[in-house]
Structure formats: C-alpha cells, structure tokens
A and B are shown apart, each in its own frame.
Chain A
Amino acid sequence: MSEREVRKLRAGGIVSITGKIVTARDKAYAQVISGAKLPVKLQGEVIYHCGPLAKRTPEGWHIISAGPTTSARLDRVQAEFVRRTGVRALVGKGGVDEEVAVQLARLGCVYLAFTGGAGVLAAKTIEKIEKVYWEDLGSAEALWVLRVKDFGPLVVAIDTHGGNLYLRRKRRG
C-alpha cells in the first residue's frame, strides 16, 4: 500500500483488502521493539492484530477463526512499531489511544476496524497461508503471512487527517 493511497482514506469510509496481510500482536510486537530482525519485509504492508485459532492438519495449518484482537493493548509500543516497520495500515478492533492515533496519522498509517468476534467471517477470506514466522511464540502470537480476498468490510476508523470515529463519540458523550 502506498502512502498516497492511505492518505486518500477518510474516517467513516468502508474498504476491503485483497492481497497480503501479516498478523502481529503482543509477543511479536515485543520482539520488534527489542530489535529482533524481521523475518518478513513489512514496509508498506498491512498488519492485522489477530491471534488466529488454527488447527494443524496433515495438509498443513488450517485457520478456523480469525477475528481481531484488542489493538489498545499495544498502545504503549504502537507508534514505535509503525516507525520501525513502515507499515501503512493496522487492522484491529476497539481503536487506539487518542495520542497514539495522532502519531499514526503523522506516520501515514491508517487504522481499519473489523468487527470483533466475527472470527469465522474473517477466516473465510483467507485464500492461502503463505508462511508462519516466530512459531516459537505460540500459534496465537506468531506472525502469520496470509493472502486474503475481500477481507472486510473494514471501517476506516482513524484516518491520517485527524478523523477518528472513536474520538468524536467520546466528545459528545
């Protein structure tokens, strides 16, 4: 994904993703922050906050349910992670801290919200499991490189222009 494409997106918009996404959550983030060498190039890519429920079969891994995890758990390391990796989009649920949202916008990274708990819907969009890295972290915490088709609908929840669907509601409330 190019910076230009990402900067076109506006909060409230609906998108879907076809192509490559990489899952990463708590333990993988900790590895990246501690300076571990990335096994896969993440510049310009999409990170999916997800710990899939996967089953090992004779044919290989099969992902059964793969909804998003709570992105906010990663607030303290989120901006640093995006700075180090150069990712263009985060897919998750529940949003991020206001201050983190501001930093993401500056870094040219959008936050796309997928419906939490919609695990089977998400799993259905996975065409291929390209590779799994850092499996020693456990299957839920590993880096899954996935090829998806029409992963969505995703709501553009935080754009790179200060638009933030989580923020607007808080002000009114």
Chain B
Amino acid sequence: MLTEDNLRDVVAEMLQRAETTLPADVVSALREGMKRERNPIPKLQFDLMLENLELAKKFGAPICQDTGTFTFFVQLGRKLRINFDLEAATSEAVSSATQRVPLRANVVDPLTRKPIKSNTGRGQPTTHIELVEGKKFQIDLLVRGAGAENCGKLFMLRPVEGMMAIERTVTSTLTEAWGRPCPPVTVGVGVGGSMETAPLMAKHALLRPLDKPNPDPELARLEHQIERAANRLQIGPMGLGGKTTVLGVHIEKAACHTASLPVAIALQCWPARRAKAKLVGGLLKVVEP
C-alpha cells in the first residue's frame, strides 16, 4: 500500500532529478538541433546548452536558476486506497526539496508579490488527479520556468476558421514570444474541450517524450505540419536566429461545443524538465529521468 513517507520521499527525488538532469529524448533532440545549424551563433547556443547540462549533472546543480513552478499529473487507480492527504504530502515534498536541492523560492502572493518561504501556496504545486482502472498509481511532474509559462495562450476560435487557424495560432504565439521562452521550445497544443480543459491538455501534451509519435495518425500529421511551419520562422535557439525553433509539437484533443473551437498553447523551454514515478510491487519508484 502506498504510504505518505514513500510518496513524499519520491516526489522530493523527482524534483531533484528533474531540475538537474534532462530526459534522454530531450538531450538527443538538442544534439540533433546542433548538427542541423550552419551558422556559428545558433551552434554556439546549442554548444553552451549541452555544456551546461553536463555541468549540472556533474555537480547535481539545477540546470536553470529559474527552478520553476510545478504541475503534478496523478493517475489514481479506483481500487487503490490512499489513507493520507495526497496533495499535502506533495506540498511538503516541494518545501523539503526547496531546502535540499535547493530550489529558488519562486512562489508569491499574486497581489502583494510577497514570497512564500515554503515555495508552496494555494494552487502551488498544482495537482491534477485522474481516476484510472485497478490499483495503478503514476505521478508525472512538469517543471516550467516563467519564461515559457508567460508565453502560453488560449484562443477561442470560430469553428469556420478550420485547421489552418490551428497552425496560425501556433506560429503567431511563437512569433510574439520570439526569444523569451528560451527556444527551441516544445509546443503543447490542446484542441477542443473548453476554456479550462484546452490549456490542461496543452500542458499534459508536454509530458509526451519527443521521440514518441502521436498514436492518432491525423494528429501526428498535423503535428509534423505545424512543426515544419514553426521552424520556417527561423527564430532559432534563444531567438538569435537559426533552423531549430521547436523540438516538437504535441497535440491533444477533446470533444467540444459545436459553436466553439478552443485552442490552447503551452510552451516548454529548451531544458524540458519532467519526471515520472510508478508504483512497482507496492512501492513508488522514480522511473524517469
């Protein structure tokens, strides 16, 4: 049975790993990006990114000083019994990791702007719980700094605008953001749903590894089309120009009202930090990175 101590320790470990090590698919994508560039300036940006990753791993130090804010996606089996406050335990893990890793205390009151020492607060960390079959338990963590977070968008399109409008929302968002979200970015797109579920899908889409194709062939086709359009913008690494502006485009869809077409876009900066833990033989273990 999943215990509070197990969960707290694992979440703290997820944070430490996510902040200091990138998943293999992201590192590969950055290396491929570097090979594609001909110009010295974008090549230099990739070179420094990769060198920084080596150092961060070596010293166990956070890759980026903006250690971000955290979104947890929990898959909770309907037959699983949890006899503790899951959200409180996750919060405690964030506070403890803030002291130990350490993390930057980023969390503030939105109005007074006063920082909160525990790096937690109402809605921080954010936890989304999805009920699933059996006794499964999985927790996914998404870490995002403000650079990428601040460039997210929600468009309530008119259905008559069609598929090309979806591509345009991505290219216009990237153009407006330029170098601010630290490209090359991963683009999460939520299509359909509603005003609050489209952004949630966009964020969730960022959890998919870069080398894993979309199981829906039509969405996969649209993803590749938008990725090509995005790279044609030549925004490049750090907005200084180049061939690689996006590492990937991931789309999730949900049914929506016949008169609506919500399209949400969430960007993830080049250090696409994430972690995953699964219940294996009754014990929660970190499986990625």
Binds B, one of A64-72, A80-88, A126-134: A64-72
- Shortest distance in angstroms between B131's beta carbon and chain A's nearest beta carbon? 36
With beta carbons under 8 angstroms apart, the residue of B59, B65, B240, B271 that contacts A166 is B240
Q: In the complex, are the beta carbons of B104 and A140 less than 8 A apart?
A: yes
B67 partner residues in chain A, CB cutoff 8 A: 53, 65
**Contact at A93–B102, with CB atoms within 8 Å?**
no
Assess the B44–A155 pair: CB atoms within 8 A.
yes
B234 and A117 form a contact (CB under 8 A) = no
Contact B61 A65 (CB under 8 A): yes
A168 CB contacts on chain B under 8 angstroms? 241
For A173, what are the chain B residues with a Cβ–Cβ distance below 8 Å? 175, 232-235
Of the listed stretches B50-58, B250-258, B276-284, chain A binds B50-58
Complex Cα spacing A155 to B46, Å: 13
Q: For residue B179, which residues in chain A have a CB less than 8 angstroms away from its CB?
A: 93-95, 113, 116, 166
Residues 47 to 77 of chain A near chain B (Cβ within 8 Å): 50-53, 55, 64-67, 69-70, 72
A169 at interface by CB-CB < 8 Å: yes
Q: Distance (Å) between the CB of A78 and the closest chain B CB?
A: 14
Q: In the complex, what residue of chain B is closest to A51 when comparing beta carbons?
A: B65
The interface bits of chain B over 180-193 (1 if a CB of A lies within 8 angstroms of the residue's CB, else 0) are 11100000000000
Q: A53-B104, A64-B61, A65-B63 are in contact. Are A117 and B175 (CB under 8 A)?
A: no
State whether B241 touches A53 (Cβ < 8 A). no
Do B238 and A116 touch (CB < 8 A)? yes
Q: Measured between alpha carbons, how far is A172 from B241 in the docked complex, in Å?
A: 10
Check B66–A51 contact: CB distance below 8 A: yes
- Is A12 at the interface (CB under 8 A from chain B)? yes
A160 to B207 Cα, complex, angstroms: 42
A residues within 8 A CB of B104? 51, 53, 140
Query: Are B233 and A93 interface neighbours, CB within 8 A?
Result: no
Contacting residue for B63 out of A14, A50, A113, A120, CB 8 A: A120
A8 neighbours in B (Cβ, 8 Å): none
A94 in contact with B241 (CB, 8 Å): no
Q: How far is the CA of A115 from the CA of B145 in the complex (A)?
A: 15
Nearest CB of chain B from residue A25's CB, rounded to whole Å = 11
State whether the Cβ of B62 lies closer than 8 Å to any Cβ in chain A.
Answer: yes
Residues of chain B contacted by A157 (CB below 8 angstroms): 240
A24 CB within 8 Å of chain B: no
Q: Is residue B14 within 8 Å, beta carbon to beta carbon, of the partner chain?
A: no
Nearest CB of chain A from residue B57's CB, rounded to whole Å = 9
Looking at the assembled complex, report how far the CB atom of B175 sits from the nearest CB atom of chain A, in whole angstroms. Answer: 7
With A94-B239, A165-B241, A173-B235 known to touch, is A117 a contact of B63 (CB < 8 Å)? yes
Is B45 positioned at the interface, with any CB of A under 8 Å from its CB?
A: yes
Complex-state Cα separation, A67 to B234, whole angstroms: 24
Q: A118 vs B175: C-alpha distance in the bound complex, in angstroms?
A: 23
- How far, in angstroms, from A67 to B45 measured CA to CA in the complex? 13
Q: In the complex, what's the smallest C-beta–C-beta distance from B40 to chain A, in angstroms?
A: 8
Look across to chain B and name the residue whose beta carbon is closest to the beta carbon of A50: B65
A-B residue pairs in contact (CB < 8 Å), sample of 15 = A53-B65, A53-B67, A55-B102, A64-B102, A67-B65, A70-B150, A93-B182, A116-B179, A116-B270, A120-B55, A120-B62, A166-B240, A172-B234, A173-B232, A173-B235
Known: A93-B147, A94-B182; 6 extra A-B contacts, CB below 8 A, are A94-B179, A117-B145, A118-B51, A155-B240, A165-B241, A172-B234
State the B residues within 8 Å of A (CB).
41, 44-45, 48-49, 51-52, 55-56, 59, 61-67, 102-106, 115, 145-147, 150, 175, 178-182, 232-241, 269-271
Closest 10 pairs (CB-CB, A-B): A94-B179, A65-B65, A116-B182, A118-B52, A94-B180, A53-B65, A115-B48, A117-B64, A120-B55, A119-B65
